Structure 1
Amino acid sequence: MTKNYSALHESMQTRTLANGLRICYLPKEGFSKTFAILATDFGSVDASFTFEGKRYDTPAGVAHFLEHKMFEDEDGNALQKFARTGASPNAFTSHTMTAYHFSCTDRFEENLKILLKFVFTPYFTDENVEKERGIINQEIRMVEDTPNWEVFVGAYEGLYRNHPVRVSIPGSEESISHITPELLYTCHRAFYSPKNMALVVCGTADFEQVCRMAEEISPKDAPEIGQRHYGERRAEVHQPVVTRKMQVSLPQCMVGFKDEPVPAGESRLRRSLIGDLAVRILCGDTSPLYAKLYEKRLLGRDFDVDYSLIPDGACAILGGESRDPAAVREALERETARLAQEGIEPRLFRRMKNALYGMRLRMLDVPDLYARQEIASVFAGEHYLDFAGLFDTIHAEDVQEMFRRWAQPNRSTMSVVEPK
């Protein structure tokens, strides 16, 4: 099926194969590089699930471990194959997905075949799993020594009592010591089913050939997907403050506001747009509050804002270096309460909305960012290009309602990394 978005001067072609694999082609005529991403709707939060009648409570970090091991094949390493074609491959695991991707200027079909084959053909042995364990242990030690990462993990620890988002994506040295080839095969069967996956290509390619190759290489059968368990939810945050001590020159802080999950049937893309707009109005780098706090030297250029959707949850996280984290938190909570009560000044709302629309528009000319946004939207049953129409449905009252939720008692937490 071809969909045209005349207002954006963009189009896309989509198809769902008989085995359930969703394919989307985003044409970019004249671009020198083509980007392809194959992802599964399986991330670090999907640690507990029921599959084939059995309950699994897997060790933290299993999705990330599986990502590392997928490049191994019986006839060699996929990275070495990509190196021979001149492609640039990589992969990542987030809270909600695991993705494998490459970009290339030529030999696209050869590279796509490599990608499809290694992702759909797992190969795990005791030896290669043990070897990878040592590599991942080094990665874990590195991220645990990174203040930016630790303050981020602390924010989720404060927001949630028992949701698996509390746990660091790569897990711990202790948790990954329990990962076996058998467990990796189980997770692959449970979540690397074509019906739980999507392929997005952005650039210049033959859509029909992409579909033929995917149909030929992906499994004909699509196993049922594991049923996930995320624990019970509470409206209130788990801890008001989470503190760590590390070798930093200035304290690092992140303030989190806990939001309600997206109700069934409601657009997750629209909620994400409202959330992005809210955090930028609250303390984005062109907001009035940011200017005040910057003048007082309470925050710097590294201050960042983000709104995230997770299974059974949603939250806003704002943070960076600050000589007085408590003052930053107080200012954010005070401004949230004011916006919840008084609403948003119309000129500020229009300016921020136009700026966010422009930022979303610019992503369309960056194939890797565009494709990543599209694949996340596909997993939510939507398409990224729908953002243009959704923007017209977002009003200041929608953002004010979000601020009202954040301003309720016990809806905020602060994670701090203090100097030792």
Structure 2
Amino acid sequence: MNKTNYDRIGESVYETTLPNGLKLYVVPKEHHAKSYAFFATRYGGMDLRFLRDGQWLDTPAGIAHYLEHKMFDTKEGNALQELAKNGAEPNAFTSNAITAYYFDSTEHFEENLKILLSFVTVPYFTKASVAKEQGIIGQEIRMIEDNPEWQVYTRMMQCLYEKSTARVSVAGTVESISHITAETLYDCHKAFYTPSNMVLCVVGNVDPQRIMDLVYQELPGRGAAAPIERDYGGQEPDAVSQKETEMRMEVSMPMFLSGYRCTPPGKGEELRESIVGEIACDVLLGDSSPLYARLYDKGLINGTFGGAFEMLPGVAYLYAGGDSRDPRAVAESITEEAGRLVREGIDETYFQQIRKSTFGSMIRSLNSFENIAMLLSEGYFKGYDACRFPEVFDTVDREDIIRFLRENIVESRRALSMILPKD
């Protein structure tokens, strides 16, 4: 295994690519009782159409999430129960771009790791179990569709994008999952749950060489498959799909998200642009920003207000929102403040304050084993060394932030999603 010391973040990372194509990271944490394993595939809610054996396959919305649910089934029973018996705390999630299975434990870690590697790589579905799961997941979908926070976000994405599969709910719909069969699940597992499309991160009081030997013994001989060609929906038109949407639900106060469709970074620029976008978000919307102070003083926002910058396959977007008695006024103010910063510039003292605060938050996030594993995994899937973020951070200046605001936070790129009280 190769060892890299990252002095700026105080971490040492062992990494290797196994003969079967699996990327393995091990981050030793001596003097910690807990160890953590994170096994992820680059397959998520956006991966609805892909090329396999020379043919394009279209799959139902929600299938990656459905597959995540079914992966815990084994011939012997249920992997969740087996891990829990060994004192582990297991779980899983499906996002737009990845599906991950993970656990932490203070004892029987290697035995638990074997269970994790086994059930994730060896699928077991029956027609009866797949049909039964439709009712369970259908109920879950109905519950999230009754959630105002889910509705305001999903409707914002549908306004921002016309073609991208980022506009499709990760869970799918009750109708879409009705088309999922055991055969379809096996096809998707075969396509995406191959070692060369996956990454395993282990963080804790472990021996890197021992972990590598264990993984090699459990997953031997499977050669690296060809990269999967994916279709995320094609080129978007210049304008957002819809400028505004509103829906009435049982909320006491209007809820909103104002989204801005940003230019996706070029290849090799993903890490830098993610840092630029995060700093820009803090400069524009943070709780120490001039905009936040003005809106708060006017009673237009409260403590629920906040924003974020996100990058998904082929798309990037910044959004801000919360509760407000006048969402349109807040959305207009965000766009106007971005224009002011572009015209007048960003105060150097304020910029350095935000820059240090953003950097400090990124460093503090590494106190979490889960965040370390996520950082390494996302970086690997996107093609960069995520632990080098301090060096990239050093290259970002005020002009980068102004350029980001000038190009992206403008009226033509904005869409407003609102959830209004029923009365």
TM-score normalised by the chain length of structure 2: 0.97
Alignment of 1:73-152 (within 5 A): 73-152=74-153
Task: Establish whether residue 270 from structure 1 lines up as the match of residue 272 from structure 2.
Answer: yes
Residues of 2 paired with 1:234 and 1:346: CA distance? 36
2:181 matched residue in structure 1: 180
Alignment of 1:5-404 (within 5 A): 5-218=6-219, 220-230=222-232, 231-266=234-269, 268-404=270-406
Structure 1 vs Structure 2: percent identity of aligned residues? Answer: 43
Task: Give the Cα separation in 2 of the matches to 1:251 and 1:197.
Answer: 41
Preserved contact between residue 193 and residue 225 of structure 1 (Cα < 8 Å): no
For 2:55, give the aligned amino acid. K
Q: Per the alignment, in what secondary structure is the counterpart of residue 223 of structure 2?
A: coil
1:236 deviation in Å?
Answer: 2.4
CA distance in 1, matches of 2:112, 2:376: 21
Q: Distance in 2 between matches of 1:29 and 1:298?
A: 49
8 Å contact kept, 1:62–1:184? yes
Deviations 1:169-227 (A, max 9, x none): 10000000000011111111111111111001111111112112222222623333431
Deviation per CA, 1:216-243: give whole Å up to 9, x if none.
2226233334310012223321111121
Contact kept? 1:252, 1:416, Cα under 8 Å: yes
For residues 409 and 327 of structure 1, do their structure 2 counterparts lie closer, same or farther at Cα, with a shift above 3 Å needed?
closer
Question: What amino acid is aligned across from residue 238 of structure 2 in structure 1?
Answer: A
Which range is displaced more, 152-161 or 373-382?
373-382
> In structure 2, how many angstroms separate the alpha carbons of the residues matched to 1:189 and 1:63?
12
Q: CA offset at residue 345 of structure 1? A: 1.1
Q: CA 1:189–1:224 in 2, change beyond 3 Å: closer, same or farther? A: farther
Q: Is the 2:268–2:384 Cα contact (8 Å) retained in structure 1?
A: no
Cα pair 2:268 2:383 within 8 Å, conserved: no
Q: Distance in 2 between matches of 1:116 and 1:265?
A: 31
Given that residues 36 and 101 in structure 1 are in contact (C-alpha distance below 8 angstroms), is that contact kept between their aligned partners in structure 2?
yes
Structure 1, unmatched stretches of 5+, are: none
**TM-aligned CA deviation for residue 299 of structure 1:** 1.3
SS of aligned partner of 2:128: helix
Partner secondary structure for residue 417 of structure 2: strand
SS in structure 2 of the partner of residue 415 of structure 1 = strand
- Give CA-to-partner distance per residue, 1:227-275, whole Å, 9 cap, x none: 1001222332111112121111111100111111111232x12111111
SS of 2:97's equivalent? coil
- In 1, the alpha carbon distance for the partners of 2:344 and 2:238 equals 24
Q: Work out whether residues 235 and 260 of structure 1, in 8 Å CA contact, stay in contact via their aligned partners in 2.
A: no
Aligned residue identity for 1:55: W
Runs of 4+ in 1 over 3 A off after TM superposition: none
Separation in 1, partners of 2:410, 2:366: 37
Q: TM-score, normalization: structure 1?
A: 0.97
CA spacing shift, 1:5–1:22, aligned 2, 3 Å: same
Q: Secondary structure at the match of 1:386?
A: helix
| Counterpart-to-counterpart distance in 2, 1:258 and 1:221 | 39
Q: Where does the alignment leave 5 or more consecutive residues of structure 2 unmatched?
A: none
Instruction: Assess if the C-alpha contact under 8 Å between 1:189 and 1:223 holds in 2.
Output: no
State how far apart, in whole Å, the 1-side matches of 2:238 and 2:263 are: 7
Partner Cα distance (1:399, 1:234) in 2: 25
* CA deviation after TM superposition for structure 1 residue 417, in Å: 0.8
Is the 1:147–1:417 Cα contact (8 Å) retained in structure 2? yes
Whole-Å Cα distance in 2 between the matches of residues 70 and 341 of structure 1?
53
State how far apart, in whole Å, the 1-side matches of 2:295 and 2:33 are.
43
* Deviations 1:7-63 (CA, angstroms, capped at 9, x unpaired): 322111100011111011122222221111000011101111111112111111001
* Aligned amino acid, residue 240 of structure 2: V
Q: Give, as a single letter, the amino acid of the residue that structure 1 aligns with 2:280.
A: A
* Deviation readout 1:276-312 (Å, 9 max, x if unpaired): 1111111112222112111222111122211111111
SS of the equivalent of 2:310 reads: strand
For residue 408 of structure 1, report the CA deviation from its aligned partner.
Answer: 4.3
Deviation at 1:129, TM superposition (A): 0.6
* Paired letter, 1:135: I
Residue identity matched to 1:341: R
How many residues align? The count is 419
Measure, in 2, the Cα distance between the counterparts of 1:409 and 1:332. 10
